[in-house]
Structure 1
Amino acid sequence: MTHKHDLSRRAFLRQAGLSGVALTIGCCWPASGESAGEIIYAIDPNAATELMAWISIDSSGKVTIFNHRSEMGQGTSSAIPQIVAEELEVSMDQVSVRFAPANPQKYGPQPQDGSFSIRGWYEQLLRVGASAREMLLEAAAKQWHVPASECFAENGHIIHRATAKKLSYGALVKDAATITPPQQVKLKARKDHKIIGKSITRKDTVAKVNGSAVFGLDKKLPGMRYAVVERNPKFRGKVKSINDSETRSVAGVKHVFKVQRVVFGLMYEGVAVVADSLWAAMQGRKLLKVEWDDDGFEHLSSEQLFTRMQQELLKPIPSEVFETALENASAIIESVYEAPYQSHSCMEPLNCIADVKDDSIEIWGPVQEANWIQADLSERLNVPLKNVAVNMTFLGGGFGRKAFPDYPYEAALISKEIKAPVQVMWTREDDMTLGPFRSGAMYRCRGSVNVDNKIAAFQVICATQYMGAGADKEAEPQPVTVNTGGISGLASDYYQSIPHYSIASVPIKAPIPVMWWRAPTANVDAFACESFIDELAHLASQDPLAFRKIHLPSPRYQALIDKLEAISHWTSRRKNDGWGVAITECFGGIVAHVVKVSRKPDQKVKIDKVYALIDCGLYVNPDIIRAQVEGSIVMALGAAVKHATHFEDGKAVEKNFNTYAMPRISEIPAIEVHIMENDEKPGGVGEPALPAFAPALCNAIFDLTGKRIRKLPFNLDEV
């Protein structure tokens, strides 16, 4: 296969037909991403500029928008250019998109987490496009000797209203580049948007269909070696001895040596096998004999982990105020919920190319957090930050795992050792068994309702592993406070409507490395909270949706519930008909799911349909939103009824998709996605749509069968 090498920015602009002049515009914001700073321009497209998001227009009129965020399927390579193009007054057909490399001085923070791409940068990106437009307007007005107010921008041209004279952006770029960018620009009213809010075809669709899209696995470099690493399946063990005689006999194997990767400050050891081809490296690894030193840490099973969690649930010191409120209510319930450990299991396993020289490092691959990886490599290998290049490819899924710097660091160490570029490949088994994982969790939920059938008291105590390489200290008992703190996924209105609420979390001691997983903590917290809200509705003998409407009184939530009731035809439900609802809030997005279930002729439960309603405020591309919601539901379905990671003797059990089963297409129910229309600030989409599904499904099963599901995953055929 022939691989095209990525063009440098200079080569790209030259080959695009530049005469040497391009208008490059962008903004730099502080790390919070909340306020715009100076807008900077440059005549030389290679000039040093401090940019957050920027556009380049060449003399032929071609517009290039650099996407500073990773693209792992969530649609940033289309949505971000769509925002800029709206104010720039160009169609998406006139725009090409390129990934921006890691450069916090140019682009500001570039992490792909917290569903932040749109909600964090929406207005700033609009201002980038508007500033470029105003510079082009002024350039045209000067040529025509008319006031800029007599001109307007349309479809990549500046037009004079009175005479209908027209100049293309390409014809104006040289003059526009000499104009000081305006610091104050007027943005369009939402009603005037022609691109934002429209379902425009994604820019990456064709490339992904025809195979030209470059993922990390596709990237190649001249003279590149391939490496696989034998890593300790018990995570923390050290290399005691290596017998590589058979490995070195494999044709093409060049190097075998010990290597490390850093996981939350702990050095995890492995043995790298480097070869001329991936096949040779993998065959050599199979023949490698490594003896591990696994002393000094626990080798826990899943049963031991969850027993420890259950014990920790009773450690928090009770609050007298809360206990009194609980006891004074008319009815009380208590339940324990359990969610499992999960692998990220991205369709593209981890991989990374590193080329380390004496005074520079260059990385290529599916990286979700370019800035963090750049800074980590700079610090650990003592190379100036400006000499560390991190180049993003497409990601075949990320879900938080590919934001972590351990695998680029490992690749860099291997490249440094062999003094050549190397591509380190993780097998599916490596990817599934070596973590970090989403932590399992247990929840003790207690609550009560008063004589008015409203929630009088609500408590959730969670026992789980905190994110890290594994807590080594015993959890200290903590006091349980009332009406302070919060829990991920719980609708914010509950904190105002419930008179006595109490949230607590207790870390457990375990050596299993754990980290964020799509919709961090909300993906498990919401299962317990929204399932328990349903239990309280049943305790109060109230309709589950009406019960939520009473407790979510703000106009935004009331509108959401009214629409949910309408689109799902909730009022048509009958007793024991199999309908479940859940409403969650996280990362700036509010999502409600209604799930319908029924009994098949063989008496097995079937998921008939999912109604999903998302309120993400001002939105950019409805098709991208629908795709993200559908994907979230499928992922949540798998986590609820299909897969989990178990441990025996300190090692992950599930190694591939034969035991870590994914939902089949035949198992996916009909999904109907709706989007709220309002003028709220842009919110998240990629993560908020996941947490509500599992509780909505379990609540529907209770409605149908009377059986309350409190432990995930469960077998749908055995309900």
Structure 2
Amino acid sequence: MGPMHRPNNEVTLKYSKIMSESNIVSNVSRRGFLKLAGIGGTAFYLGVFNSAGASANIVNPELDGLNSVEMNAWIIIEQSGKVTLIDHRAEMGQGSFHSVPQIIAEELEVDLKDINVVFAQGSKKYGGQITGGSSTIRGSYKNLLKLSATAREMLIAAAAGIWSVPAGECFAQSGHVIHKPSGKSLHYGELAQKASKLPAPLEVKLKKRSDYKLIGKGIRRIDTARKTNGTAVFGIDKRIPGMVFAAVERNPRLRGKLVSYDDSETLKIAGVKKVFKIKMKVHNTLREGVAVIADNTWAALQGKKALKIVWDDSGFEHLDSAEISKRQLDLLDKEQGLIFKKVGDPDKIIQAAAKKLDVTYQTPYQSHYAMEPLNCIAHHQGNKIEIWGPLQAPDWMQEFISASFGIPLDAVIVNMTFLGGGFGRKAFTDFVHEAVVISREIRGPVQVVWTREDDASQGPFRPGISYRGEGVIEDGEMTVVKFRMAGQNIDHWMSENRGKANGSTTEGFLAPYFESVKNISFSDIPFETPIPVLWWRSVYASTNGFAYESFMDEMAHAAGKDPLDFRRKYLKEERLQKLIDKMEEVSGWKARGKNEGFGVAITECFDSTVGQIVKVSRKAEGGVKVDKVWAVMDCGWYVNPDIIEAQIEGSIIMALGAAAFHEMTFTDGMADQQNFYSYNMPRIYDMPQMQVHVMENDADAGGVGEPALPPFAPALTNAIFDLTGKRIRKLPFNLEEV
């Protein structure tokens, strides 16, 4: 169970009070918790367990007990009729605080306004809490549908028992059970106690999609009001009694050591209480720094600026971006790398070919730049640790902190708040570990706030990667595709295993190509630097997509084929054919003019495929303008098209920035870009028109938050080639200089 942000009734106030008590036993069962909360026997609560994506097992704790079972999700129906959903995933703008209730409301037959959503605490027992990989809906929607339908059927059974009528004569609607022949009705709150005494049915009938009243509809988000009126509690807003504030001056090079520091000026600043050395875990490395503790954030930040520090940065390379690029290209020229996937014998065909395509592509390092900088509250209490903050993976935090500090897992309590953006960065453990280290030192609760400069320039970053693509066209047919990539492997920062190819080498590349191209090869050339790297929205697909779909465009032109027709020929799977049909239809692809630049790209990640067509034109004053983007997503089963449209538009904007506006560069081993003044973001006047289309089919749900990012950059550069004849193979580039 998780604490409420804004309790709005007696029961949820009890939740908050109980969960905030420092002396509550850490291993209390959920059954015990519900009794402590004062709702046992007066409310109906139902849970679903098993790991995300597995078939649901519904448990009625009143009958089945909870001592050995932990739930993926909870529905609680109080006597007031209010429905509370305990959600084990984070909300960072992607819409889970609305889309999950929208699923519940559909099968439970309640109004969305009557559903209250609460964050769960961190626990591996939920079957995975990471809000990443666009997994919230695709990993749990089947279980949520079954859980909601089960609760509805039990409430109907309870009403039928009260009226002594067949359950088949009753139906649920707007939080009530109605007896059809007589018109009698009871609201769910009146049925809660009786329903709680019934066994959960093993099987329930779910609605057909054609019968949905809420799912599939663009319903206004229920979390918008609190996020616009200031009542939503983000990590940076959170306060707890007795809390102090901290800012940390960290070594700008990850592996540097602290030699000495002078805090004499810092300690003169009003509000500063203490200064000391700390070490935080970043993957398998310790980053050293100096923490400043103060009565408020401003004093801590001013104290941080006043520190005089001597660092020892010897013993490791201080690389510049130019050197990183050169080394990657040298590796692509000399090394074959570790084979990830291979079909046929591409090398034999390439060696014998009279004509082949042999090109390189490069993508830069990027920072996450979430609008809410990193922050975390921690309270180390000796035999117990409690954490509050904007966390994408609370269960990962719990495990990591437990192992790092030798505290039993159940004694590490991790509380989620809303996140002001994440993009993968807030699923990492370093900023949480640092807060706990500081709390242990001061023996009290502390909030650590990173400055924008810290957040932007200290990483970990999306890795910059170089690619070499080789291909052969024979008699108009694509007979060979061979790719090698040289870039940092995120997995290598997390383990000592260096003998395997990057597991994401083909991420973003469409699987049907492996069936339709006779000779194909992907390999990874290991490449290391001291610069820390991490996941970034759509992970490796964000870089792979640019290389692989740019290459497909070049192959199409080498074959003398229309780029969209060329892809259609090799992507024979039915869903992809329909997606291409839709792309062609909505964009007017066949009717495009001679002086218009149109580019196409299609990528896949997290079980969703997105095709994009970009239109560009020349500007009178020089350069190129991005006029319009048509995006077609096949994500299978989906909840809310408005949320999908928002996620696709956000992905396109982020992709535009990474393609043509910003990058992280390094000089002497340190990041050059420190804030928005040097990490230039697209402005509103840079935005193209965007038209989004969602495919309709009965396939399982795919991800939504990330898959629309990878195809934009190649579609854009392919459009620029169509307009100007110039191939862009290195990102970022300047639209004004094309």
Shorter-chain TM-score category? over 0.9
Determine the structure 2 residue equivalent to 1:348.
372
Q: Deviations over 1:516-556 (max 9, x none)?
A: 10001000001000000000001011111111110111111
Matched, 1:249 2:268: yes
Check conservation: 1:470, 1:509, Cα contact below 8 A: no
Do the aligned partners of 2:485 and 2:505 also contact (CA within 8 Å) in 1?
no
Aligned AA (1:88): L
Question: Counterparts of 2:161 and 2:11 in 1: how far apart (Å)?
Answer: 32
Aligned residue for 2:50?
Answer: 29
Give distance in 1, aligned partners of 2:656 and 2:618: 18
Partner SS for 2:265: helix
Partner of 2:201: 182
Equivalent-residue separation in structure 1 for 2:427 and 2:5 (angstroms): 25
Structure 1 residues 146 and 46, CA gap change in structure 2 (3 angstroms): same
Partner of 2:91: 71
Post-superposition CA distance 1:297-327 (Å, at most 9, x none): 1111111111111122121169993222234
- Deviation for aligned residue 1:655: 0.2
Q: CA RMSD in A?
A: 2.5
Counterpart pick for 2:320 among 301, 304, 319:
301
Deviations 1:8-56 (CA, angstroms, capped at 9, x unpaired): 99851659998761111111113x5322234233499999962111111
Change (3 A) 1:469 1:461: closer
- Cα deviation for residue 659 of structure 1 reads 0.4
2:635–2:703 contact (8 Å) kept in structure 1? yes
Q: Decide which moves more: 19-28 or 248-257.
A: 19-28
Tell me the secondary structure at the aligned position of residue 453 of structure 2. helix
Report what 2:615 is aligned to. 596
Q: In structure 1, which of residues 618, 643, 660 is the aligned counterpart of residue 662 of structure 2? A: 643
Q: Quick check: 1:157 aligned with 2:181? A: no
CA shift, 1:368, in A, is 0.4
Partner of 2:123: 103
User: What amino acid sits opposite 1:410 in the alignment?
Assistant: E
Tell me, yes or no, if structure 1 residue 689 matches structure 2 residue 708. Answer: yes
2:12 aligns with 12
Give the letter aligned to residue 123 of structure 2.
N
Task: Between 442-451 and 95-104, report the one with greater CA deviation.
Answer: 95-104
Kept in 2: contact 1:331–1:539 (CA 8 A) = no
| Residue range with higher mean Cα deviation, 455-464 or 386-395 | 386-395
Question: For residues 475 and 140 of structure 1, do their structure 2 counterparts lie closer, same or farther at Cα, with a shift above 3 Å needed?
Answer: closer
SS in 1 for 2:103: helix
| 2:507 is aligned with 1:488 | yes
Q: Where does 1:128-207 land on structure 2 (aligned, <5 Å)?
A: 128-207=147-226
Aligned ranges 1:461-472 → 2 under 5 Å? 461-467=484-490
Question: Paired residue for 1:226?
Answer: 245
Paired residue secondary structure (2:437):
helix
* Counterparts of 2:10 and 2:194, CA distance in 1: 20
Instruction: Spell out the pairing of 1:690-709 with structure 2 (5 A cutoff).
Output: 690-709=709-728
1:429 aligned residue:
453
The answer to whether the 8 A contact 2:49-2:69 is kept is no
Taking structure 1 as the reference length, what is the TM-score of the superposition?
Answer: 0.95
Corresponding residue for 2:289? 270
Q: Structure 1 pair 239/406, CA: closer, same or farther in 2 (3 Å)?
A: same
Aligned equivalents of 2:224, 2:48: Cα separation in 1: 28
Deviates more, 1:70-79 or 1:302-311: 302-311
Query: Residue by residue, what CA displacement relative to the aligned partner does 1:572-612 show, whole Å, maximum 9, x if unpaired?
Result: 11345200000001101100000000011123211110001
The 8 Å contact of residues 272 and 295 in structure 2, kept in 1 or not, is answered as: yes
Matched with 1:456 is 479
Query: Whole-Å Cα distance in 2 between the matches of residues 37 and 532 of structure 1?
Result: 46
1:425 aligned partner, one-letter code: V
Of 495, 520, 523, which aligns to 1:504?
523
Counterparts of 1:81 and 1:222, CA distance in 2: 32
The 5 Å alignment of 1:338-417 reads: 338-417=362-441
Partners of 2:63 and 2:199 within 8 A in 1:
no
Compute the displacement of 1:160 (Å): 1.3
CA distance in structure 2 between the partners assigned to 1:323 and 1:643 by the alignment: 36
1:165 CA drift (Å): 1.3
Within 5 A, what are the aligned runs for 1:661-680?
661-680=680-699
**Native 8 Å contact 2:662 2:679 kept in 1:** yes
Q: In 2 relative to 1, CA 15–440 (structure 1 residues): closer, same or farther, beyond 3 Å?
A: closer
Letter in 2 for 1:292: W
SS at match of 2:720: helix
SS at match of 2:399: helix
Equivalent-residue separation in structure 2 for 1:230 and 1:383 (angstroms): 27
- Compared with structure 1, are the counterparts of its residues 527 and 384 closer, same or farther at alpha carbon in structure 2 (3 Å cutoff)? same
Query: Which contiguous aligned blocks of 4+ residues in structure 1 show a shift greater than 3 angstroms?
Result: 4-11, 13-20, 42-49, 317-320, 327-331, 468-478
Instruction: Give the 3 Å change call, closer, same or farther, for CA 235–10 of structure 1 in structure 2.
Output: farther
Q: Deviations over 1:445-497 (max 9, x none)?
A: 0001121x22110011000011157699998899x9xxx99601111111111
Amino acid in structure 1 at the alignment position of 2:648: V
Describe the shift of the 1:138–1:596 C-alpha distance in structure 2 as closer, same or farther (beyond 3 A).
same
Secondary structure of the 2:551 match is helix
User: Per the alignment, in what secondary structure is the counterpart of residue 116 of structure 1?
Assistant: coil
- 8 Å CA contact 2:635, 2:701 repeated in 1: yes
Measure, in 2, the Cα distance between the counterparts of 1:292 and 1:691.
Answer: 39
- Deviation of 1:557 after TM superposition, in Å, equals 0.6
- Aligned to 2:370, what secondary structure does the other structure show? coil
- Helix, strand or coil for the counterpart of 2:140? helix
TM-score, normalised by the number of residues in structure 2: 0.92
Gaps of 5+ in 2: 17-36
1:335 and 2:359 matched: yes
- Of 468-477 and 705-714, the range deviating more from structure 2: 468-477
Match of 1:81 in 2: 101
CA change 1:215–1:476 in 2 (3 A) is: closer
In the aligned structure 2, how far is the partner of 1:144 from the partner of 1:473? 66
Matched residue type, 1:77: F
Q: Which structure 2 residues correspond to residues 517-536 of structure 1 after superposition, within 5 A?
A: 517-536=536-555
